Structure 1
Amino acid sequence: MSLEEKRRLVCPPYKKLSVYQQCSVIELPRSSYYFKPKGESLYNQRVMKAIDRKFLDCPFYGVERMTAYLKMDLGYSVGEKRIRRLYKVMNLKAIHPKKNLSKANKGDYKFPYLLRNLKIDRANQVWQADITYIPMFRGFMYMFAIIDVYSRKIMGWDISNTMSAEWCRDVMLGAMERHGKPEIFNTDQGSQFTSSVFIEALKKHEVKISMDGKGRALDNIYIERFWGSLKREKIYLNPPNGGVDLYRQVKDYVCFYNTERRHKSIGRITPDERFYQIIKNVS
């Protein structure tokens, strides 16, 4: 059965099974249900790609500094209003304390940051998760990923052209089914992660919830480092030509990252070796 034929079998309004569960039953990558890239004008796409590259190196660049960089260093004709909107589209949050310009939604949940001075010494003790913008040859999509802090193993991920709380929840639950649940789950204070849909799923599984401080992306540093590795070592070298190509590239890279890429910070072993406590003699 082709991908297109499988897609027709998925029915979003169906109450008993989520889109993620329906896709799992028919062995259809959930992300393929949302494979159509999101678009902006060609000019905005070029600006977004330039922003993405610079932000990886300078995550402290807010709208004003990024606008100045794009205008003065790269020659783009842009204003702060455009860059502020693109930051929102790209889900970018600069690292700096923010003024309390608006009150949180009453329905949103906020939790303290639990990782400060915490000794992380075992797998499934702490998971971190985030969403990032992924540039493509034409258009862009979003990626959600979960990393085990102790081993640096990517526990779950998906690609979509939406950033819904339901999408994040389904990926998280799939990761728990495969690897067991974490003791602590850490995210930023994005609307997906403060929603009742996401929070109640964690509470149901009795997982402690940790959230970064406002404007403190480095509280979630391990998943941020993964984004840098993925983009520099894969996406920027061969910009994906469509959603299917992006999915395949990310799948290949995550497999490489977990099983082959050795990490200096965990003793020059792979995330899988660390997670599963595989001991190898290295001469």
Structure 2
Amino acid sequence: MIDRSHDLPVVRQARELGISRGSVYYLPRPVPEADLKIMRRIDELHLEVPFAGSRMLRDLLRQEGIEIGRCHVATLMKKMATEALYRRPNTSKPAPGHKIYPYLLRKLPIVRSNQVWATDISYIPMAKGFVYLVGIVDWFSRKVLAWRVSITMEADFCVEALEEMLARYGKPQHRPGQPVCQPSVH
């Protein structure tokens, strides 16, 4: 987008594109090796003690001989999208104005393959960072119909998995005589 060899100054190009001038000059830095090791250990500790916040994780890391401060632990947790699991007040109360969608599969008996599919995205820690995995599964047979791996959380790899699955298996099939899920009107 930005052409440094163009006659128009970079400042003006950034303004015309509606982006920050600082973002034009910013080059992302790779995560240091030491931080990657700490992030891996934080991930392992989070699986063992999911209610641990940055303070408790700092103390656990210090017990293992890793000198680190709470703010650095909090920064790494934010970068990993990891947070302590604990009960928060009024979490079951919907926000005013938010529409509540009915669960359409509640009374549907799942009795055969290619009737209902599910999908999920997960991350996998690697030696130098993380990769993201999307999988589409048939609920009845538990067969993985399609999957993709990506190094970014862009939607492209999810769409590719869905398109591959639809090309290979078609849409989930409704059989005559089977009840069709309809949203209930309240």
TM-score w.r.t. length of structure 2: 0.53
Aligned-partner SS, 2:82: coil
TM-score w.r.t. length of structure 1: 0.38
Structure-2 residue corresponding to 1:96: 86
TM-aligned CA deviation for residue 39 of structure 1: 4.2
Relative to structure 1, is the Cα distance of residues 159 and 146 closer, same or farther in structure 2, using a 3 angstrom cutoff?
A: closer
More RCO (CA 8 Å, sep 6+): 1
Say how many residue pairs are matched.
136
TM-aligned CA deviation for residue 44 of structure 1: 0.6
Rounded Cα–Cα distance in structure 2 between residues aligned with 1:146 and 1:110: 27
Relative to structure 1, is the Cα distance of residues 160 and 126 closer, same or farther in structure 2, using a 3 angstrom cutoff?
A: closer
- Matching of residue 170 in structure 1 with residue 168 in structure 2: no
Structure-2 residue corresponding to 1:132: 123
Rounded Cα–Cα distance in structure 2 between residues aligned with 1:80 and 1:116: 44
Greater share of helix: 1
Structure 1 runs not aligned, ≥5 long: 1-37, 101-108, 184-283
Structure-2 residue corresponding to 1:219: none
Rounded Cα–Cα distance in structure 2 between residues aligned with 1:113 and 1:53: 36
Q: Is the 8 A contact 2:119 2:135 kept in 1?
A: yes
Rounded Cα–Cα distance in structure 2 between residues aligned with 1:122 and 1:59: 36
Rounded Cα–Cα distance in structure 1 between residues aligned with 2:83 and 2:104: 20
User: Which amino acid in structure 2 is aligned with residue 45 of structure 1?
Assistant: L
Structure-2 residue corresponding to 1:69: 60
Rounded Cα–Cα distance in structure 1 between residues aligned with 2:111 and 2:84: 30
TM-aligned CA deviation for residue 94 of structure 1: 4.2
- Matching of residue 146 in structure 1 with residue 138 in structure 2: no
Q: Is the 8 A contact 1:145 1:154 kept in 2?
A: no
User: Which amino acid in structure 2 is aligned with residue 141 of structure 1?
Assistant: F
Q: Say which one has the larger Rg.
A: 2
Q: Is the 8 A contact 2:146 2:162 kept in 1?
A: yes
User: Which amino acid in structure 2 is aligned with residue 142 of structure 1?
Assistant: V
Q: Using the aligned pairs only, state the percent identity.
A: 25
TM-aligned CA deviation for residue 129 of structure 1: 0.4
TM-aligned CA deviation for residue 127 of structure 1: 0.7
- Superposed CA deviations along residues 60-108 of structure 1, whole A, max 9, x for unmatched, are 4443433332223x222223332333233334354334579xxxxxxxx
Structure-2 residue corresponding to 1:43: 34
Structure-2 residue corresponding to 1:54: 45
Relative to structure 1, is the Cα distance of residues 117 and 80 closer, same or farther in structure 2, using a 3 angstrom cutoff?
A: farther
Q: Is the 8 A contact 1:147 1:156 kept in 2?
A: yes
- Superposed CA deviations along residues 186-228 of structure 1, whole A, max 9, x for unmatched, are xxxxxxxxxxxxxxxxxxxxxxxxxxxxxxxxxxxxxxxxxxx
Rounded Cα–Cα distance in structure 1 between residues aligned with 2:49 and 2:145: 27
User: Which amino acid in structure 2 is aligned with residue 143 of structure 1?
Assistant: Y
